[in-house]
Amino acid sequence: MKCWKDQCENKLEFTCSCTNPPTYSCDEHIVAHMKTASNSRHLPDPLTISPNPETKRALIDCLHKSLSNLYELRRKTVLDFSMQIKQINEKMKIALESFDDSIKNQRKIISQIKTIKVISNGSKTEIDEMLVSEPEIAIKLLKDSFDIFIDQTSL
């Protein structure tokens, strides 16, 4: 592609869509082209945007700075989430251990209660009433007395 002006060897800077295919022009001849008669309007567009080297360098510096900020932010985010995941895992471990302890205890209590031989005269005891109204306390009392019973018998 060459400038519309005959013999012109200048660098192409503009394209004008007044013709099809578009007319190309150098910087020097674009004004002259605009003054030529045309069937359709002259609509010149710069072919390239060439900022001066200083602007280019400033722009690249700015982008590099932004890039290193992004890297730093990314690193911090990974670190932050890793910490949170670690904390959540620790909390879950503690919670599960506590559940496991409770489950173990309750299973032990259930099997202990099953093996208790209640010696009573057939009438309802205080424990019987409590098992209905306050089962947790009753179970604890039963368990405690059973533990004492075990301690005594194992001697």
Residues found near Zn ion in the complex (CB under 5 A): 3, 5, 8, 10, 16, 18, 26, 29, 42
Residue placing its CB nearer to Zn ion in the complex, 1 or 116? 1
Q: How far is the CB of 14 from Zn ion (least distance, A)?
A: 9
AA letter at 38: S
Sequence-distant (6+) residues with CB within 8 A of 13 are 25, 26, 27, 30, 46, 47, 48
Q: How far is the CB of 39 from Zn ion (least distance, A)?
A: 10
Residue placing its CB nearer to Zn ion in the complex, 16 or 139? 16
Q: How far is the CB of 50 from Zn ion (least distance, A)?
A: 17
Cβ atoms of residues 138 and 130 within 8 Å:
yes
Residue placing its CB nearer to Zn ion in the complex, 34 or 109? 34
